[in-house]
Amino acid sequence: METDRLLYDGHGRRVGDLRVSVTDRCNFRCQYCMPADGLPWLEREELLSFEEIARLVRVFVGLGIEDVRLTGGEPLVRRQFPRLVGMLAEDDRIRDLSLTTNGYLLERQAGALVEAGIHRVNVSIDSLQRDRFFQLTRRDALPQVLRGLEAIAAHPRIRPIKVNAVAMRDFTEDEVERFCEFARSTDFQVRFIEFMPLDADRAWTPDAVLAGEELRGMIEAIHPLEELPREPSATARVFRFADGRGEIGFVNPVSEPFCADCNRLRLTAEGKLRTCLFSLHETDLRQPLRDGAGDAELESIIRDAVWRKELKHRVNEPGFRQPPRTMSAIGG
């Protein structure tokens, strides 16, 4: 691709990763994300259609985006979701087409997703104990989620498969040993993600964060670890168990921000472009799209927004303001 077509922000970072939320709806009610009664959902006409998503992704890819991750809410609750995967997979300029899911509907959709062309899958599992899984997600769904995980793992070309666990103080400490054994006895890479201030109940405090370094110390007291080289713009620090039996990762946006080489953008389910997970401002792409904007006009809007991409998220700094949207409404 011509270098003058590539997206750069005003801090000199090249942007190459797009997270696309396909819905704000979710069939779980995780405590770190959503209240027990849920949230007001977007109306159907507010959501981008599959054709609109594909059009915008094509514009982004024309600007050098190579990695596209489909998120929600819970993406698999969107009707005919594998059809969207197939539409995007037709573009061979997308190097990595991936999915983040809670896994509840994965068992029935795994085959269709693989056939449609998904490359990688991350499954969110915050506890490997059924009662504690229910406590955090407010859904008695762990057996079904694990069946979904096995269903996608039955397809060897979908690798790596990552299991994401949000690390929360006074909860995750009791999960560490089980997750270690899970990572050591399977092909799944377990990743602990620090609890971020994106919860609907506004209950987040710094004291609720179980830092990755603390978790790593707990693990190394049981199993020595060896750090693997960090890929540019990677969100996780990845370690291999010293005896070679599996990998474990730590995503530490609160205690060890990785903003310096952040290359990510987010597109919400109703077509708002967010240049940071914690952005207080968004750029509307849906209205220009529906008003008949051509690709050149959309590219210009995107370039202007990306140029203003935030230097860092400023969590834990004086004056930090939690964005009005929750994680489910932003898209992971």
Q: CA–CA separation, 122 vs 141, rounded Å?
A: 17
**Closest to 173 in 3D by CA, of 206, 122, 208:** 208
The structure's pTM equals: 0.95
Provide the domain count of the chain: 1
- Domain contains 6: no
Enclosing domain of residue 253: 15-330
- Domain contains 310: yes
**Closest to 200 in 3D by CA, of 18, 73, 101, 22:** 73
Query: Residues near 306 by Cβ (< 8 Å), separated by ≥ 6?
Result: 7, 8, 9, 15, 265, 275
* Paired strand residues for 192: 165, 250
CA angle 211, 158, 61 (to 5 degrees): 85
- Domain contains 133: yes
- Give CA separation, 72 vs 13, 59, 216, 330, in Å: 26, 21, 29, 8
Looking at residue 329, its pLDDT comes to 82
Three-class SS state of 323: coil
- Domain contains 73: yes
Q: CA–CA separation, 14 vs 127, rounded Å?
A: 36
- Domain contains 9: no
- Domain contains 7: no
- Domain contains 24: yes
Looking at residue 325, its pLDDT comes to 79
Would you say 177 and 220 are in contact if contact means Cβ atoms under 8 Å apart? no
Which tokens go with 168?
A: 């929360």
Looking at residue 36, its pLDDT comes to 76
What is the sign, positive or negative, of the torsion defined by CA atoms of 178, 76, 7, 5?
positive
Which tokens go with 100?
A: 């983040």
Q: In what order do the strands lie in the sheet with 236-241?
A: 225-227, 236-241, 247-251, 189-194, 161-167, 120-124, 96-101, 67-71, 17-21, 264-267, 272-274, 283-284
* Paired strand residues for 239: 227, 248
Q: CA–CA separation, 200 vs 9, rounded Å?
A: 30
Q: CA–CA separation, 296 vs 147, rounded Å?
A: 45
Q: What's the distance, CA 320 to chain centroid? A: 22
Q: What CATH number has the domain bearing residue 326?
A: 3.20.20.70
Per-10-residue mean pLDDT, the chain, length 332? 84 98 92 78 95 98 98 96 98 98 98 98 97 94 98 97 96 96 97 86 84 97 96 94 97 93 97 94 97 98 97 84 80 74
- Domain contains 173: yes
Q: CA–CA separation, 148 vs 123, rounded Å?
A: 9
